[in-house]
Structure 1
Amino acid sequence: MERINVLGMGPGHRDYVLPISTRLIEESDVIVSSARLLQGLELEGKEVYRIGSLTEAIEYIKCKRHMQIAVLVSGDSCFFSMLSLLRRHFESEELNVVPGIGSLQYMFSRLGMSWSEAFMGSVHGRELDFAELALRYKAVGLLTDGKWNPQAIAKALVEKGLGEKTMYIGENLSYENEKISRVRAHEAAHSGSHDMCVVVICDE
């Protein structure tokens, strides 16, 4: 039985997809992915499953185990991705995991900053103490969501007296409309909405 390829597709633009992932997509019969990650891929002749329900996606993959499957995940496959869910349903020997360039890795590189001493995390469905993290680490990199967007994170910092912390807000990273803003937390607390964001909090 073929192993399931779990492929990290990078921050967005195809330039940041590893060649091995491109090759494994070409060799696969079935592609399981969100609609966004399918954009720009040559998938003629392949069976494509667009993820809606994660539970249904797992059942679909189980039904296709006799075929070569590629599961595409955004960023790095080992960092807050569908891999954790796959590990609960399949043995590690059944998975061929290929890393990718994560949005936070990309963001730190664009800032010219090391992330070796930074906290890297996600607020997707999680509650974090942003003030404590900002005090403990030289930098804090966060994947944001609809609830904990840059404005909400900034407000949480201001409430703890950290309004002078610097926030870098990265939007649409790696795409042509990429935008990286540098603001103080007290300024970001009153900013407008942002699209597809990551945030880096630091002292400068």
Structure 2
Amino acid sequence: MITVVGTGVSAPPADVLAGAGLVVGGRRHLDAAAVPASAERVVLGPLAPALDVVERHLDKGSRVVVLASGDPGFFGIVRVLAERFGAGALDVRPGVSSVAAAFARVGVPWDDAVVVSTHGRDLRTAVNVCRARGKVAVLTGPGAGPAELGAALASGGAERGGWAGAAASGLVAQFPAPLKRVLLVASDLGTKDERVQRVTPAEAAARDWGSGVSVVLCLDESRALGGVRTVAGPPPAPSQWALEEGEFAHRDSMITKFEVRALALARLGPRLGDLVWDVGAGSGSVAVECARLGAAVVAVEKAADGVERIRANADAHGVDVQVVHGSAPDALAGLDDPDAVFVGGGGRELPGIVAACARRARRSVVVAMAALDRVPAVRAALTDAGFDCEGVLLQSSRLAPLPGDVTRLAATNPVFLLWGVRNPAYREGVAQ
């Protein structure tokens, strides 16, 4: 039997350790525990060698104790042990998780929080979740602490030097309005040195936080409480998408029609942890729909009235969309590489914009256009960047009433929709 004890910072009960043949844990856990003199001690580092030692002791019928922090079943070692030895071999005795403790310290409920780990993982996922959701707990790791998280959220460009780099290059683009976020940095939870400090992302980026931080809460404080929940976790996915055009403010019907939007969303595949660009966003209908589906979204629009319209549509649907007032491709330079890109509009510059987006996109690019003449050049821009390209002509007719209680079919304007999916064998110029 493997006894897994979530100790926090206090020592485990002596009876748990009595008679153990092997005690495994982090150095600070082992130093705080009354490990029997006869027991072998293994300081956790690489997991594979430690698991091999555990297996040898189990084969001998020896008791094994694993010491962990907080709740070891929550982003902890229970998953690895259960996969290797089976859940039936585990006796798990959880403590209070650092996430629960941090939210408790600030008096905020967390049944509607999203929890994301950066320990041994890519920071960009946590950054995108913080951009998209108003209540996030980030479990920190080496090189992915409050300073790095704050820098990414403050700049809007974690991978390419942020907006400061764009401004220094003389690019014509207004900075996106910062998201309404505050970081609550929890240090040394459970000790006499415990602190929870409230800082802005920019303030977090400017400090050296040391090694005591285990969790950072990223909150939009205006939405920190909310209503009574039935299901824990992030808000459920919307029951509808490809909303009617009337759900958005737009100018002179200049909006991606819902039939086109439905297929575009299917090919973009926006989800929590993704970053999506909506380039030539217009009313921002695609941007808003991607945000409703959980993605972090940047909308790029060159018209000033369009920028305000996008912000109004995002507010109306209760989502966060960062808006860049500028012209592509120059306005893209300071942004993080996206997972997916939607490009709308037309004009002679369209193939060049698509090419710039394709060089940066990790997964897919979707392009909507009305002009047949643009199709070959856009297709070439996608294939030249290493995308497998497909497309359709969408031509729909909607039911419309006629006098006399009869119905006709009203044709909408045909639209070409091309999409490219990155070929895994072609990764040149794309962040790994």
TM-score interval (norm. to shorter): 0.7 to 0.9
1 CA distance for matches of 2:191 and 2:70? 14
2 CA distance for matches of 1:53 and 1:133? 28
CA contact (8 A) 1:173 1:179 kept: yes
CA contact (8 A) 1:171 1:194 kept: no
2 CA distance for matches of 1:132 and 1:124? 16
Change in CA separation of 1:124 and 1:29 when aligned onto 2, cut-off 3 Å: same
Aligned to 1:39, what secondary structure does the other structure show?
A: helix
| 1:39 has 2:34 as partner | no
Equivalent residue in structure 1 for 2:71, among 44, 68, 76: 76
- What corresponds to 1:203 in structure 2? 220
CA contact (8 A) 1:117 1:137 kept: no
Give the unaligned 5+ runs of structure 1.
none
| 1:182 has 2:177 as partner | no
Give the unaligned 5+ runs of structure 2.
157-176, 222-432
- What corresponds to 2:48 in structure 1? 55
Matches within 5 A, 1:101-180: 101-127=96-122, 128-160=124-156, 161-162=177-178, 164-180=180-196
2 CA distance for matches of 1:22 and 1:136? 45
Work out the percentage of aligned pairs sharing the same amino acid. 26
The size of the alignment, in residue pairs, is: 196
Higher relative contact order (CA 8 A, sep 6+): 1
CA RMSD in angstroms comes to 2.1
- Bigger radius of gyration: 2
- Once the 2 structures are TM-superposed, how far is the Cα of residue 7 of structure 1 from its aligned partner? 1.6
CA contact (8 A) 2:24 2:30 kept: no
| 1:28 has 2:44 as partner | no
- Once the 2 structures are TM-superposed, how far is the Cα of residue 133 of structure 1 from its aligned partner? 2.2
CA contact (8 A) 1:5 1:95 kept: yes
2 CA distance for matches of 1:174 and 1:144? 17
CA contact (8 A) 1:130 1:157 kept: no
- Once the 2 structures are TM-superposed, how far is the Cα of residue 132 of structure 1 from its aligned partner? 3.9
CA contact (8 A) 1:163 1:184 kept: no
CA contact (8 A) 2:126 2:138 kept: no
CA contact (8 A) 2:19 2:36 kept: no
Deviations 1:7-48 (A, max 9, x none): 2222x244xx6xxx6542335332111111123222233412
2 CA distance for matches of 1:22 and 1:143? 29
CA contact (8 A) 2:183 2:218 kept: yes
Aligned to 1:60, what secondary structure does the other structure show?
A: helix
**After TM superposition, where is structure 1 displaced by more than 6 Å over at least 4 residues in a row?**
none
Aligned to 1:32, what secondary structure does the other structure show?
A: strand
1 CA distance for matches of 2:55 and 2:113? 38
If the length of structure 1 is used for normalisation, what is the TM-score?
Answer: 0.85
2 CA distance for matches of 1:194 and 1:200? 17
2 CA distance for matches of 1:131 and 1:184? 14
Aligned to 1:87, what secondary structure does the other structure show?
A: helix
Matches within 5 A, 1:85-100: 85-100=80-95
2 CA distance for matches of 1:130 and 1:59? 32
1 CA distance for matches of 2:130 and 2:209? 22
Residue identity in the other structure for 1:8: G
If the length of structure 2 is used for normalisation, what is the TM-score?
Answer: 0.42
CA contact (8 A) 1:164 1:186 kept: no
2 CA distance for matches of 1:192 and 1:89? 38
- Once the 2 structures are TM-superposed, how far is the Cα of residue 184 of structure 1 from its aligned partner? 1.2
Residue identity in the other structure for 2:35: L
Deviations 1:120-164 (A, max 9, x none): 121012224345423543311111112111011011112335364
Change in CA separation of 1:131 and 1:85 when aligned onto 2, cut-off 3 Å: closer
Residue identity in the other structure for 1:176: K
Deviations 1:153-179 (A, max 9, x none): 011112335364111111111111222
Aligned to 2:100, what secondary structure does the other structure show?
A: helix
Aligned to 1:72, what secondary structure does the other structure show?
A: strand
CA contact (8 A) 1:76 1:102 kept: yes
Aligned to 1:71, what secondary structure does the other structure show?
A: strand
